[in-house]
Chain A
């Protein structure tokens, strides 16, 4: 059954993979000069687009596939089986399977296979008490396929390869980080030569960053800066010079701040980055990914701009094998566009764990009626607690006493 499900998921992902095959074979890097084609996105001329369709619509096969995945996972993933027993029919009006909260990954193993068959485990970055979620994988082929196809569409639709500058930890330094893993794969798939990795042990190598950007500037070669929001803020606080990166350069930033630096509103951060690197705001794209998922969502602005959309959209676009749905926190029913609710994500690429996931994030469906969502941030109860205290905080505070 697993093999049949995997084939169905793979078929949907493959149906979206409309770009030409990579110019170099897997796991080999082209020479940096191959990046010259990246300048096609300069804005002076219409770029050559590798994918020209509009946003991916939900695949017609997705709904039945998600139900079959849920049935398979309820048979093989113990906590999910218990959830399905406890919440029969919670989503019946839409015939959706119950969704597993991400916190479950912190307390128990969520996998359809035994631990002995794990090939990778990604872990969340933790909470105040140090409890971390783990997402074990039996293999990463679906993860890779999903990450490749959607990044190609949303981040690199106009360039086969481009020099990459990473403001994130290298996969060797952070083997449990799904983000580092993904960026490592990006280096292979989309990088023009080895990437410049600028974050080591939570410290930003400003020298390496400056050198990489100055070189790109001098050569007139566009670059892509990819990293975490807090790393970009570290860079903002540490850099003294501004850059005039060549047209076609872009930024992908992701994740929250997790208390590592001052928090900055997304729009303000975009303005800061645009001013610092001379990159148009439409070419600054937020990515939404989670350890507990196998797929990512991206803001549509870069793609919209390249396709001549008059007003590029800021909302996050899921790939065709993913459904992102704000739901009512009490009834778990989907909310109409514009209403803020808890973000539920059904990710068909989560084959060996649970496809239907309830996040702790708040979101609303995009007002334009597309499948996109507007993120309203991570939920926090601190504002309501005042002098009251959740047990987790008590335990962590006790540990510090």
Chain B
């Protein structure tokens, strides 16, 4: 395993070595080729053993782990990476990569480290990453595959260090504080509380890019709900959004709002979503249920049954809750469907989620721009089609910031 249990001293020496890593001297073409080759290798050569390993570590089923790999890496092509680097260009300026990025990973989405680790490397920025205590397998797999690859991939591997640090211990606390100070920028993935803690402990002169709490919602307006067939297809697409990563990510939908007076009633849509989740469970089964989530699931489903309608199956549930207040879902393919009367009501419900609303899956291609324009401030979610909530392009704008934010500095030429 390439994950190092690092002390404060280890962290210093790792950082010093990374700042001189060969990735800094690698040409953009070589970096593009290396990242694209890594993605291709993972996509096409990951065997059942790898998938079982990832599944066991990440808590997803092997089938969902494979799906996650495909969805995360399919858009990592030489053309897309070249376009991304090209998009960084600023007239009259040169983009200069920072010397070292520190990344604090979260463990709830299996393949999230791909973007967090590979984009800096693509830009020529070495990375020291603290892996999640819960999920280390995918980051380790990335490192292993890079190390076993061509010389350019090996150069990337030498620019990537994975460390495990437990700040609950005294040596871990020191190591963590060191980690926060060794890079030019810290990217933190985690809860709002984690982000705030990191911000508080950050030494002067180190930038921070926060990826805090988030959630997604689905919206099915009456204008997109005009016949049985189309609405069933939409249910299938929303079901994929719910099932993806077992609904554990910050892009996972927690509720789907269905406008009244559409062709299919909100309650019937909830039932259609239930059937869609049942179909999906055959090809993409849910991972094992943790006791804690199990207890929350019991509450979620029971409240749905007692106050609305519950449609449940072996590994998923849909509650129909009308216009009741939106309430927590435990994830793991437990989703609530709520009705709304008109756009004003919907906007008020969305506004209550504030900046935490990171993605909206909105049905109706031609209606999406108007919906997006009407979103009240400060909402700035990514608005996409149903079925695409959890599969943003690899280099997509994230939390309202371009993917290179914090990783480059611009020098006038």
Query: B-contacting residues of A (Cβ < 8 Å)?
Result: 79-80, 82-83, 86-87, 99-104, 107-108, 328-330, 332, 340-342, 358-362, 376, 379-395, 397-398, 401
Task: Assess A389 versus B213: contact at CB under 8 Å? Given A107-B303, A107-B327.
Answer: yes
Residue pair A361, B248 in contact (C-beta under 8 Å): no
Report chain B residues within 8 Å CB of A104: 302-303, 306-307
Contact of B213 with A82 in the complex, beta carbons under 8 Å = no
Asked if A108 meets B307 with Cβ closer than 8 Å, knowing A379-B292, A387-B211, the reply is yes
Can you pick out 8 interface pairs between chain A and chain B where the beta carbons lie within 8 Å of each other? A83-B302, A101-B306, A381-B293, A383-B292, A384-B293, A393-B328, A395-B326, A398-B354
B302/A103 in contact, CB under 8 A: yes
Which residues on A sit within 8 Å (CB–CB) of B197?
none
Contact flag A395-B294 (CB < 8 Å), given A388-B213, A389-B214: no
B394 to chain A, nearest CB (A): 18
Find residues 239-272 in chain B having any chain A CB closer than 8 Å to their own CB.
248-250, 252, 254-255
* 8 other A-B residue contacts (CB within 8 Å) besides A388-B331, A397-B192: A103-B302, A104-B307, A107-B325, A329-B291, A342-B291, A362-B291, A387-B189, A393-B328
Partner of A108, one of B306, B329, B331: B306
Of the stretches B101-109, B121-129, B225-233, the one at the interface is B101-109
Shortest beta-carbon distance, A130 to chain B, in Å? Answer: 12
Partner of B328, one of A328, A376, A384, A392: A392
Specify which of A82, A101, A387 is in contact with B298 (CB 8 Å cutoff). A101
Contact of A329 among B108, B212, B294, B305 (CB under 8 A): B294
Least Cβ distance of B83 to chain A in Å?
27
**Are B354 and A401 within 8 A (Cβ)?**
yes
List residues 95-114 of chain B with CB under 8 A from any CB of chain A.
106-109
Cβ-Cβ contact count across A and B, 8 Å cutoff? 177
Q: Which residue of A lies closest to B254 (CB)?
A: A391
Q: How far is the CA of A330 from the CA of B294 in the complex (A)?
A: 7
Contact present for B213 and A387 (CB under 8 Å): yes
- The answer, among A361, A379, A394, for a CB contact under 8 Å with B356, is A394
Q: Does B65 contact A (CB under 8 A)?
A: no
B281 at the interface (CB under 8 A from A): no
Chain B residues lying within 8 Å of A102, measured Cβ to Cβ, are 299
Chain A residue numbers with a CB within 8 Å of B297 are 329-330
- Separation of A401 and B379 alpha carbons in the complex (Å): 13
- Contact pick for B215, options A342, A384, A389, CB 8 Å: A389
Using CB atoms, name the residue of chain A closest to B336.
A391
Does B324 sit within 8 A of A, measured CB to CB? yes
Given A360-B299, A393-B328, A395-B352: A386 and B306 interface contact (C-beta under 8 Å): no
Q: Which of B281-316 contact A (CB under 8 A)?
A: 289-303, 305-307, 309-310, 314
Q: Evaluate whether A390 and B329 lie within 8 angstroms (CB atoms) in the complex, with A330-B294, A397-B192 already known.
A: yes
Give the CA-CA distance A328 to B295 in the complex, in Å: 9
Instruction: Report the bound CA distance from A383 to B190 in whole Å.
Output: 11
Residue of B nearest to A392 (CB): B328
- Set of chain B residues within 8 Å of A101, measured between Cβ atoms: 298-299, 301-303, 306
Cross-chain contact of B295 among A107, A379, A397 (Cβ < 8 A): A379
A107, B298: Cβ atoms under 8 Å?
no
CB-CB under 8 A from B324, the residues of chain A are 107
Taking the complex as formed, is B17 at the interface, i.e. its CB lies under 8 A from any CB of chain A?
no
* Cα-based distance from A381 to B109 in the complex (angstroms): 14
- Which of A330, A332, A340, A384 is close to B248, meaning CB atoms less than 8 Å apart? A384
Q: Do B109 and A386 touch across chains, with their CB atoms under 8 A apart?
A: yes
Complex: A362 Cα to B296 Cα, angstroms: 11
* Shortest CB distance B8–A (Å): 25
Task: Check: B330 CB closer than 8 A to any chain A CB.
Answer: yes
A86, A332, A383, A386 — most chain B CB neighbours (10 Å):
A386
Q: Which of B59, B107, B291, B327 contacts A391 (CB 8 A)?
A: B327
Quick check: is B132 within 8 A (CB to CB) of the other chain?
A: yes
Any A CB within 8 A of the CB of B409: no
Q: Are B298 and A358 in contact, CB atoms less than 8 angstroms apart? A: yes
Pick from A340, A379, A387: contact of B106, CB below 8 A. A387
Which single member of A86, A387, A394, A398 contacts B108 (CB below 8 Å)? Answer: A387
CA distance A386 to B113 in the complex (A): 13
With both chains docked as a complex, state the minimum distance between the C-beta of B271 and any C-beta of chain A, in angstroms.
13
Could you tell me if A386 and B291 are in contact, using CB atoms closer than 8 angstroms?
A: no
From known contacts A86-B309, A398-B354, infer whether A391 and B298 are also in contact, taking CB-CB under 8 Å: no
Please indicate which of the listed interface residues B191, B214, B300, B303 has the most CB atoms of chain A within 10 Å of its own CB: B303
CB distance from B405 to the nearest CB of A (A): 17
Type the 1/0 row for B158-201, where 1 means its CB is closer than 8 Å to any CB of A.
00000000000000000000000000000001111000000000
Most A CB contacts (10 A, CB to CB) among B252, B292, B296, B301 go to: B292
Q: Which residue of A lies closest to B188 (CB)?
A: A387
Q: For residues 374 through 400 of chain B, which have their beta carbon under 8 Å from a beta carbon of chain A?
A: none
Q: Is B279 an interface residue (CB 8 A)?
A: no
Knowing A103-B302, A397-B213, the reply to whether A389 touches B292 (Cβ < 8 A) is: no
Contact B295 A360 (CB under 8 A): yes
CB distance from B411 to the nearest CB of A (A): 33
Asked if B134 is an interface residue, CB under 8 A from chain A, the answer is yes
Flag if A386 contacts B326 (CB, 8 Å): no
Cβ of B296 to closest chain A Cβ, rounded Å: 5
Residues of A with C-beta under 8 A to B309: 86
A389 to B307, CA, bound (A): 23
* Most B C-beta atoms less than 10 A away, residue of A330, A341, A360, A388: A388
Bitwise interface map of B from 196 to 218 toward A, beta carbon under 8 Å scored 1, else 0: 00000000000000011111000
Cα–Cα, bound, A379→B289 (Å): 13
B353 part of interface (Cβ distance < 8 Å): yes
The residue that A381 contacts in the complex, of B189, B250, B331, with Cβ under 8 A, is B331
CA of A340 to CA of B294 in the docked complex: distance in angstroms? 11
The complex places the Cα of A373 from the Cα of B296 at a distance, in Å, of: 20
Give bound CA distance, A107 to B328, whole Å.
Answer: 12
CB proximity of A378 to chain B, nearest CB, Å: 8
Residues of A within 8 A of B192 (CB): 389, 397
Nearest B residue to A376 via CB reads B291
> Are B306 and A387 within 8 A (Cβ)?
no
Option from A99, A329, A342, A391 in Cβ contact (under 8 Å) with B329: A391
**A-contact 0/1 string along B345-370, CB 8 Å cutoff:** 00000001111110000000000000
Residue pair A386, B305 in contact (C-beta under 8 Å)? no
Separation of A387 and B289 alpha carbons in the complex (Å): 19
- B213 CB contacts on chain A under 8 angstroms: 387-389, 393-394, 397
The docked-state distance in angstroms from the alpha carbon of A129 to that of B190 is 20
CB of A387 within 8 A of CB of B299, answer no
CB distance from A295 to the nearest CB of B (A): 21
Q: How far, in Å, is B243 (CB) from chain A's closest CB?
A: 15
Distance in Å from the Cβ of A375 to the closest Cβ of chain B?
12
User: Could you tell me if B305 and A87 are in contact, using CB atoms closer than 8 angstroms?
Assistant: yes
B299 contacts A103, C-beta separation under 8 Å: yes
By a CB distance below 8 angstroms, the chain B residues around A361 are 295
A107 adjacent to B293 (CB under 8 Å) = no
Q: Which of chain A's residues has its CB closest to B306's CB?
A: A79
Residue of B nearest to A361 (CB): B295
Contact at A362–B292, with CB atoms within 8 Å? yes
Minimum CB–CB distance for A81 against chain B, Å: 9
Return chain A residues, CB-CB under 8 Å to B296. Answer: 360, 379, 381
Chain B minimum-CB-distance residue to A359: B295
Contact of A329 with B295 at beta-carbon distance under 8 Å, contacts A82-B305, A387-B191, A398-B356 already known: yes
List chain A residues, Cβ under 8 A from B305.
82-83, 86-87
